[in-house]
Structure 1
Amino acid sequence: MLKNRFGLGLMALAAVGFAFAATGCDMEGRSYMSIGTAGTGGIYYPLGGTIASRLSAMDEEGRQFTAEVTGGALGNVRLLQRGEMDIAMSLGSTAYQAYHGVDEGTQPFTDLRVLAPLYPNVVNILVPRGSTAGSVEDFEGLRVSVGAAGAGTEPVSRMVLDAYGLGYDDIRVRYLTFSESAGALRDGSVDAAIISVGYPAAAVMEVMETGDGRLLPITSPWMERLTSEHSYFFRSVIPAGAYRGVEEDIHTIAEWNWLLAREDLPDDVVRNILQIVTEERDRLIRVTPIANQIDMEALRSAPIPLHPVTQAWVDEHLP
């Protein structure tokens, strides 16, 4: 069961770091390295900023690491594949699809590697309190927020809908951010929203605490379909009492967020990352309590190959 923001100075440094990262220089000898996060209002940015700050302090080569404001999980992997980013925060589903070149018109990103796990994203399926919908199968013809275009939630929404036999042609699609989805549910401009996010989630809390929303479970046979067809999904629970009005466990699916890079990321950088998420995890927890959910055991079921340094860590610590 799954139980801060940085100032303008960091954003300015991020812009400088991006300029250096985009030059196409060889990894070795680089002065600046970038970490793709997301918008400043989510979890990725403060977490990535803390990791970047610590990596800069630890780096014996004098490299400076910066947290980049980006469009999120999907865009980060694309930037990584184009060589415009050095490290990316992203979802297991996004990593898997990029590695295998699942999306039409994309080349397999076979150089993509997992560095370390972060925290799980839980799939929240929300409808207004007075909705008659009892399941995703009832969403046909409804206005459904599937997440912002380019964000990690959007492809997850596609997979959830597909498991229930629905496609975008069967619903009225709305591409909204988490906060926009919460507002739209409250003012009645959407009929449902799918939000894949770490637990607890501010957007979900906003809807539930005002009594405007209701969470729908994923039940059999759709649960089995999702977890068997997509190896990066696993069973999860939003526990009773997690949000106002949740009086019993809500069964759903989840997937891990990961730190990713190309295989040529210098070994010493990867070793420092592993030290941060294991021995120095308290630093991350002070920035966002969700870092308490980091579980190195997740590396046993990573959706794509591990970086050689990470693989060596697993061989030593998780035999």
Structure 2
Amino acid sequence: MGTILASIICVRGGQSLKTGTLLKILFLLIILLVGSIKIKQELFSTGGQTVPPLSEEITGNQTTLVIATGDMSGVYFPLGQAMADLFRKYDGKSSGTQVTNASVQNTKLVSQKQAEIGFSTVDVLALPEYKKSEVLALTGIYSNFIQIVTTENEIKTLEDLRGKRVSIGTVGSGTKLMSERILKAANLASYDMDISTLSFTQSADALRNGTIDVAFFSSGLPNPVIAELAAEMEISLVPIPKQMADRLHEEFEYYTLDEISGQTYEGVESTPTLAVKNVLLTYPDLPKQEAYQMVKTLYDHLPELQNAHPEAKEIKLAEATRGISIDFHPGAKQFFEEIIH
């Protein structure tokens, strides 16, 4: 800005601009500056929610493959980074990750072609506001487990959440969607609790500081921030009763009764809960060969992906197309058909 001002104060022959002319130019510069800021803000806004800027690795001028992930303390983010590394290493693609509020927001970003790949749970894809034609599946991956974490010894059941301070996950996350359905099944309304919508990291910090009593997490196992919290202090997981799990499965077939092993978190015993499958999404206009190559690269180099997080060991080619409620991209279909035959 200083250089621009210096250049407009002087004209050919060393004559100064008249005060009125200078003021007009300054006024125009201010308008341009404000407009530029507004445009930048709009570029990173979707549906009233702020989308964090792209990571440094993908802010160059080269066309970039963007992977919409989730909270940096979850599982989507490290796996997304590992995938970006694979695409750069083996396909020569300029690729990187986008930190988001996870499933709901990722689905929106992919449908709007603001990301080439997005992580999502399959329950989000059944929401009426997301037309199935706007996104296609690349591959099913591992499952998310609902983890209801508390530091309070007296909280043993979902009914014990009544009157407590509870974080149900960020707006635009699969955690919030799933937690709201569980609370409804437990006959708990929002006014029965002091509800907050915190991220994984914020929830862990709030549990640590005693500003909330319970936090819902929907993620792969182990969740890094829960593992860190369990190593620091005594925590427990609130179980999902089988009867409730069966009712939820009847209403939402993609929710299944599962168990969080007692080996997952320090000092926490095995706990029954709900699980829901994850899927990688893309948009229909992505070229067939590009989609084919992305899926092929993931499975050709799966051991490298598994080094990023233990949950990647649950990604199995034999289960890649099971339990997915939307159509697969033609490129992904071609890959799986070749493997089968």
Indicate the TM-score class for this superposition, using the shorter chain for normalisation: 0.7 to 0.9
Query: Is contact 1:15–1:68 with CA below 8 Å preserved after alignment?
Result: no
User: CA 1:67–1:208 in 2, change beyond 3 Å: closer, same or farther?
Assistant: closer
Query: Is contact 1:56–1:65 with CA below 8 Å preserved after alignment?
Result: yes
1:281 equivalenced with 2:302 (yes/no): yes
Query: Is contact 2:234–2:267 with CA below 8 Å preserved after alignment?
Result: no
After TM superposition, the structure 1 = structure 2 runs for residues 144-163 of structure 1, keeping only pairs within 5 Å, are 144-163=166-185
Letter matched to residue 277 of structure 1: L
Q: Distance in 1 between matches of 2:89 and 2:266?
A: 42
Larger radius of gyration: 2
Residue of structure 2 in register with 1:165 after alignment: 187
The gaps in structure 2 that reach 5 residues or longer are: 1-53
1:14 equivalenced with 2:58 (yes/no): yes
Q: Distance in 2 between matches of 1:76 and 1:311?
A: 22
Query: Is contact 1:118–1:257 with CA below 8 Å preserved after alignment?
Result: yes
Cα distance, 1:314 vs structure 2: 4.1
Q: Distance in 2 between matches of 1:279 and 1:187?
A: 44
Cα distance, 1:199 vs structure 2: 0.3
1:117 equivalenced with 2:140 (yes/no): yes
Q: Distance in 1 between matches of 2:340 and 2:189?
A: 40
Identity %: 28
Aligned residue among 126, 133, 136 for 2:149: 126
1:227 equivalenced with 2:259 (yes/no): no
Query: Is contact 2:245–2:256 with CA below 8 Å preserved after alignment?
Result: no
Cα distance, 1:33 vs structure 2: 2.7
Residue by residue, what CA displacement relative to the aligned partner does 1:72-97 show, whole Å, maximum 9, x if unpaired? 22211111222222221222222232
Residue of structure 1 in register with 2:161 after alignment: 139
Q: Distance in 2 between matches of 1:318 and 1:138?
A: 49
After TM superposition, the structure 1 = structure 2 runs for residues 195-274 of structure 1, keeping only pairs within 5 Å, are 195-247=217-269, 249-274=270-295
Residue of structure 2 in register with 1:72 after alignment: 102
Letter matched to residue 263 of structure 1: P
User: CA 1:223–1:114 in 2, change beyond 3 Å: closer, same or farther?
Assistant: same
User: CA 1:273–1:63 in 2, change beyond 3 Å: closer, same or farther?
Assistant: closer
Q: What number of residue pairs does the alignment pair up?
A: 287
1:35 equivalenced with 2:56 (yes/no): no
Which secondary structure does the structure 2 equivalent of 1:299 belong to? coil
Aligned residue among 284, 290, 295 for 2:311: 290
Residue by residue, what CA displacement relative to the aligned partner does 1:178-233 show, whole Å, maximum 9, x if unpaired? 22222222332112111111101122223333343111211131010122211222
Letter matched to residue 92 of structure 1: V
Query: Is contact 2:277–2:323 with CA below 8 Å preserved after alignment?
Result: no
Letter matched to residue 306 of structure 2: I
Residue of structure 1 in register with 2:81 after alignment: 49
CA RMSD of aligned residues (A): 2.4
User: CA 1:54–1:245 in 2, change beyond 3 Å: closer, same or farther?
Assistant: closer
User: CA 1:316–1:169 in 2, change beyond 3 Å: closer, same or farther?
Assistant: farther
Query: Is contact 1:58–1:272 with CA below 8 Å preserved after alignment?
Result: no
Residue of structure 1 in register with 2:50 after alignment: none
Aligned residue among 323, 330, 333 for 1:308: 330
Which secondary structure does the structure 1 equivalent of 2:180 belong to? helix
User: CA 1:39–1:213 in 2, change beyond 3 Å: closer, same or farther?
Assistant: closer
After TM superposition, the structure 1 = structure 2 runs for residues 76-87 of structure 1, keeping only pairs within 5 Å, are 76-87=106-117
Letter matched to residue 128 of structure 1: T
Residue of structure 2 in register with 1:3 after alignment: none
TM-score by length of 1: 0.81
